Each structure stands twice: as structure tokens, then as C-alpha cells.
Structure 1
Amino acid sequence: MQWTSLAKLALVAPSYALIRFGCSQLVVDRLDPLVNPGSNPSPHLHQIIGGNSFVPDMTPANHDPAKLSTCTTCQPSEDFSNYWTAALYFRSRNGTFKRVPQKGNVGFEGQNGGMTVYYMQNQLADYQQKAKVKAFQPGFRMLIGDPTAGTKQAADRYPQLTYTCLQDMNTRFPETKAFPAKPCPAGIMVNLRFPTCWDGTNLDSPDHISHMSYPVNGTFESQGPCPASHPVRMPQILYEVIFETKTFNNQADWPTDGSQPFVWSFGDTTGYGNHGDYVFGWKDDSLQKIMDDACYVNCASMKTQTVQAMNACSIKGKVNEEIGDNTWLSTLPGAPMAK
């Protein structure tokens, strides 16, 4: 169903909130304070949004984004969280690479790259949003997906990481686990849906995943109960990242063997290694207040800022290297091999 149709159908008063907002690009840099804390640089390139306190080491004991950030690239002015995914590249026939830029989603066309973020109690089309959830707490962080996944079987461990080949900006189906095999007229949308059941104790875990779980019967949309090991229901976070592929959609430039030409910054050409990271940084209890509000997308309890203010918040990359925005690269940043 198209987003415009969803908005028109939201006629039933919700019990709790669902929010959808845009975030401009904060920085594109080879840093990963969750998986590689303190490393400068990290093994592969990421695109990052959110609070401007993003640094190589964000250990919870000494780093609270809500207290250290002075601006955010996200529409909610009290959200200083950081959200990030890998960067995407186009590989030419001669083996050189160019970074694929991002663009704003429907309703956020003026933002500078970045992505769209959702927090929801129930699935997107459930307008009543009946399920009360507990908001994330200071120090909370998690990731989803596995950059080493090279097969569909490995990728299926994370059932809600997918791609949408956009025929236009309202396309939402079908979704695939692998990169689209044909050119996508309006770009490739990468969808990342995080698990929603928390163990109720740990704000993180060694693998940054185990403290969270999917519902008993598999997916958030099924509205199944949380397992006994992870009894606390939390909002589902969804990222929609739209990579603008129009410059690279000429199939005469694609590999002669008919394979698709896009590659993640960590070298994955299948798409199965799709993954994303999250570090919580909402100010005080602002997220819980929004989640407890009876609203759908446009929530009066969510303080917002202008697109101009979102775009004005940015930081300079800390890794001094060419990332393929203005020139073709012979290797990916950090030199991972395309595979």
C-alpha cells in the first residue's frame, strides 16, 4: 500500500502513537562506535544521522548523546539518538567504485540525504496502535543484521531486513532479501526493522543483539507475544534509506554477465549482509511521552524543527580519506574486497 493511501486511511483514533520522521545526513565516515568502539578508522564506511556528539568511542559510561549533542539532524528536536547503516557503492565495468547518494523520502524531499525513521507500537497499517510499549532507556543500543551473511539462509535469521525496487517514490512492494536484479527507476529503498522484545535488564549485550528478540511467532507484524526470555515489549524502529540510483541505472554500464552492480561498503554484492545500528539518545522521557500519546504520525507531543535546521546540523568526518563522492575509487574505503 502506498504511504499516501495510508495517511488518508488513518481515520480511527489511535490508542498510542506511531511516529514517522526524516533525518538529514550527519556525516559519512569510517567509524562504528558500537561494533568497533574507539577505532579510528573502523573497517568499513557508514552513513550516520542524528545527534552531533557522534564520535569513535560512545561507551555509555561516558557518553550520553542527549546530554552531549548540541543539535540533531532529525525532525524531532529532542531526538539526539544516532542511527547508521553501511554506505552503498556502484561498481563500474572497469572495477572502480562511486558512492551512491541518498535522498529524502516522501514528505521529506528537502532534507539532505539521510533516511526516514519510524517508531511504532503495532504494524504500520494498524491505525489504532493499541499495544502500549516501554520506550528505550539511556545507554540502550542495538544492531540488527550480519555483514558476513552471504546466503539467503544466513540473511533469513533477520526476517525484516529487505530491499524495495522503487518504481516511483510511493512503491513499497515487493520486498526482497537480495539486491534488486534490475534498474530501479526511483532508487533502491533499504528497509531495516529492529526486533521489539527486550530482556528487561540489559541495555546492551556483547553481540549487541541478544538482549533483544523477535516475537514468539517471528515478526512484529504478526502481533505475537514476546518470549518469556524477553518479556518487555518496546517500539519497533524502522529505517527506510533511499539510495538515488538514477545516475547508475543505464544497464550498458552494468556487468556484462548480467549481474547487478551495487555493493555495500564492506564488500557484499549480494545484499544479504544488510545491517543497521542504533544508539538511543532521546532527551529525558520525551520518547515515552510520545509513545503514550494517542496520535498517528503527526503528534503534538513531539517537538519538531525545520528541515533547514536539520540540514544545518552536521559534523566533519574524522577519517581523512576519499570516499568516492567526487571521483572513482580503485578500492572501497578500508579496501574490503567486493564479493
Structure 2
Amino acid sequence: MKSSCVATLALVARVQAGLRFGCSSLTTQRLDPVVEPGRTPSSHVHHIVGGNAFNATMEGDVGERATCTTCEMSEDFSNYWTAVLYFKHPTNGSYHRVPVVNNAALAPGTTGGITVYYTQFDFWDDNTEKQPIKAFPPGFRMTVGSPTTTDPDVAKSNVGLRYNCLQTLLDRGRELVDFPDKPCPAGIFAVQHFPACWDGKNIDSPDHQSHMFNTMDRGGFMNAPPCPESHPVRVPQVTYETVWDTTKFNDMWPEGAPNPFVWSFEGTSGYGTHADYMFGWKGDSLQRAMDTEDCFYDGCGSITKQAMSVANECTVEDFVGEETDGWLEYLPGQGPAN
């Protein structure tokens, strides 16, 4: 999103926006049931939020299997995850996991986690063509971005995968393709926008992306062109926002030194930012929300919210049993023994 804040959003005269809500952190461990199903542990550490059906292998209707969720929307048992940000000490080369803090304007009691959006049409006027929105089917999953991206031109072309160097939680400054090159007063903000055009047939594809098509050409939270014939079904655009609290490491970043933050796959640039999504809404709850017009980032009049004190009680097993925090000699999964 371009430099913006909640106050700016409130000035928009007419909006059909969709859902915006927080999900507290569920677990941080090396699992990836989309890209590396069945592998325990997966290649690098992920920060995961959402329903307690999360495990190394996830098939079928996740919403029917989960019994709790860390998300404010009580009927959302989906799982959302990203790579984890680490600080690499400029002197001794050790690593420390960067904690996640609440984004602005989330429900009281949200603990770290991710802000999730399901948008219909953002900031449209009366001349905007409004395509029907179809909710995802059970078993649907997708990814966006890639940890193997190292080319800055490729990263620039990945519209919707961006960073901000936070001055405050509401003052984001300009969008960046790469990590900030200086300490950020309020942390590093990472956003991942998923494509919103589906082929209407496949709940997954070999690369976890080909069944989707991205029509974004002007940035995130902007109206996009119609879906192409190859991917004719408009689905909600899913977006994640994560605030990484890098502030405690600012004094360890020598003036003029290169960026000391890395992704958990040893991504020394920000180009490899990526995210995974596993649909898990209960029944037709997401479709009901998407069918609601003039719904401005709330429950869309049909979704029951839960107190975050209840959401925070939802947990999953530590399937891997390894240390991912504290000062580590190697990133988990990236050391010489792996």
C-alpha cells in the first residue's frame, strides 16, 4: 500500500472493501504443508497464524477439522504463514529471531500475528466494473513470491510484495522493494498481496501459483483489470501485513553498515519475500461476507467475531522441537548439519 493510514482510508467516499482483521500468532516452526507437504521439518522457519488443524500435511476441508482459530473472525480456520525475519549480528554472525508486534487498529488483545484482508473492490467509483466474487473451495491453497528471487528487476515486477520503514505504526513512509537500508524507528512492515484471478478448476498447481493470475499493475489495494479467459473467476484478494519489531536491534546496526536483517531461508535481500495460504473458512461464511456490499473492513454484517482473549488460547503442537529464538549460531535448517 502507498503511504497511508486509517485516517486516510476513512476519507474515501465510497468503498466496497471487504474484511480486515487480525490473527494472533499460532506457532513459529519449520513446517510448510503447501510447498513441502509431509516433510518434518521443512527447509526454513515460518510464522503461522490461524486454525489449529495446521500440521505437516493438510488436505481436504480444513475448516471442518479445526476446532479453534487465532483469528478474530470466529468462522475462519484458514492458515496464513510467511518466512521469519532474523537479525544477523554484524560482529559475530549469530542470529536472533525478530519478534512480531501488532499492526495498527487491530482488536484489543491481538498478540503479534498478521493482519489479513479479503478485499472485493477497493476504492471504486460508479464507473468501475464489478465482477462477481467467488469464495475459495475447500482444500484450496496458493503461494505468492519465492525465496529463490534474487533479481531486483523480478522483485520490482512482483507488484504487491513490498516493505515500509515504519516511522510510527501509522506513518509508513514510502514503499520499498528491498529491505530498508537504515534503522526504522517503529520496525519493518512487510505486505504480501495474493493474485485474485483463479482458473476455476484447480485447488492447487505444481508450483502453487499457476492456477492463479495476477492482474495488479498499479500496486496493492488498487482496482485491477478484469480477469483473463484463462483465469476467469474473480476471488477475494488475500493480503497479509506483518510488523516486524526490529527496533531492539537498531543500536546493534553500525552506521553505514549493510542491512543486517535476513529471512529465515538466509535471504540477505528482501527480494525473496513470500507467503502461503490454506483456505479454511467454515461452510459458506466467506461467501456471505463477499456478497455484502459497502462493507468497510469489519465483519461484513455476517461474520461472528470472537474476543482475542479466546483466540489467544488456540494452540498447536510443536511438531519439530527445535530452538528458533535466542542467539543461534545458524538459522534453523540452514546450518552445516542440514
Aligned to 1:81: 78
Q: Judging changes above 3 Å, is the alpha-carbon distance between structure 1 residues 218 and 174 closer, same or farther for their aligned structure 2 residues?
A: closer
Q: Residue 267 of structure 1: SS of its match in structure 2?
A: coil
Report Cα offsets for 1:211-249 as digits up to 9, x if no partner: 000128576624212111111111111100100111011
Distance 1:217 1:188 in 2: 24
Aligned to 2:104: 106
Identity %: 48
Report Cα offsets for 1:139-158 as digits up to 9, x if no partner: 11000001011121232342
Q: Which amino acid in structure 1 is aligned with residue 70 of structure 2? A: T
Aligned to 1:276: 275
Q: Residue 178 of structure 1: SS of its match in structure 2?
A: coil
Distance 2:335 2:155 in 1: 20
Distance 1:87 1:305 in 2: 27
Q: Which moved more, 1:149-158 or 1:282-291?
A: 149-158
Paired residues for 1:41-80 under 5 Å: 41-60=41-60, 64-80=61-77
Match of 1:9 among 5, 8, 11: 11
Q: Residue 121 of structure 1: SS of its match in structure 2?
A: strand
Q: Judging changes above 3 Å, is the alpha-carbon distance between structure 1 residues 260 and 275 closer, same or farther for their aligned structure 2 residues?
A: same
Q: Residue 247 of structure 1: SS of its match in structure 2?
A: helix
Report Cα offsets for 1:184-222 as digits up to 9, x if no partner: 111111100001111111111010000000128576624
Distance 1:11 1:216 in 2: 22
Distance 2:152 2:265 in 1: 17
Q: Judging changes above 3 Å, is the alpha-carbon distance between structure 1 residues 216 and 88 closer, same or farther for their aligned structure 2 residues?
A: closer
**What is the CA-CA distance between 1:134 and the residue it aligns to?**
0.9
Answer yes or no: is 1:205 the counterpart of 2:205.
Answer: yes
Aligned to 2:250: 249
Q: Which moved more, 1:253-262 or 1:286-295?
A: 253-262
Aligned to 1:239: 240
Report Cα offsets for 1:10-63 as digits up to 9, x if no partner: 553x5x551100000010010000000000000000000000010101133xxx
Report Cα offsets for 1:43-84 as digits up to 9, x if no partner: 000000000010101133xxx221111100001000000000
Is contact 2:188–2:245 with CA below 8 Å preserved after alignment? Answer: yes
Q: Judging changes above 3 Å, is the alpha-carbon distance between structure 1 residues 224 and 127 closer, same or farther for their aligned structure 2 residues?
A: closer
Paired residues for 1:1-339 under 5 Å: 1-12=3-14, 14=15, 16-60=16-60, 64-93=61-90, 94-108=92-106, 110-123=109-122, 125-126=123-124, 130-215=130-215, 221-250=222-251, 253-254=252-253, 258-294=257-293, 295-298=295-298, 299-324=300-325, 327-335=326-334
Q: Judging changes above 3 Å, is the alpha-carbon distance between structure 1 residues 6 and 127 closer, same or farther for their aligned structure 2 residues?
A: farther
Q: Which amino acid in structure 1 is aligned with residue 4 of structure 2? A: Q
Q: Which amino acid in structure 2 is aligned with residue 38 of structure 1? A: G
Q: Judging changes above 3 Å, is the alpha-carbon distance between structure 1 residues 304 and 329 closer, same or farther for their aligned structure 2 residues?
A: same
CA RMSD of aligned residues (A): 2.0
Q: Which amino acid in structure 1 is aligned with residue 150 of structure 2? A: G
Distance 1:66 1:215 in 2: 28
Q: Residue 63 of structure 2: SS of its match in structure 1?
A: helix
Distance 2:192 2:280 in 1: 19
Distance 2:157 2:17 in 1: 29
Q: Judging changes above 3 Å, is the alpha-carbon distance between structure 1 residues 218 and 164 closer, same or farther for their aligned structure 2 residues?
A: closer
Q: Judging changes above 3 Å, is the alpha-carbon distance between structure 1 residues 216 and 112 closer, same or farther for their aligned structure 2 residues?
A: closer
Is contact 2:124–2:223 with CA below 8 Å preserved after alignment? Answer: no
Distance 2:334 2:279 in 1: 30
**What is the CA-CA distance between 1:110 and the residue it aligns to?**
2.7
In the alignment, structure 2 segments of 5+ residues that lack a partner are none
Q: Which amino acid in structure 2 is aligned with residue 233 of structure 1? A: R
- Report how many residues are paired: 327
Distance 2:335 2:174 in 1: 30
Q: Residue 312 of structure 2: SS of its match in structure 1?
A: helix
Q: Residue 98 of structure 1: SS of its match in structure 2?
A: strand
Is contact 1:197–1:213 with CA below 8 Å preserved after alignment? Answer: yes
Distance 2:247 2:214 in 1: 35
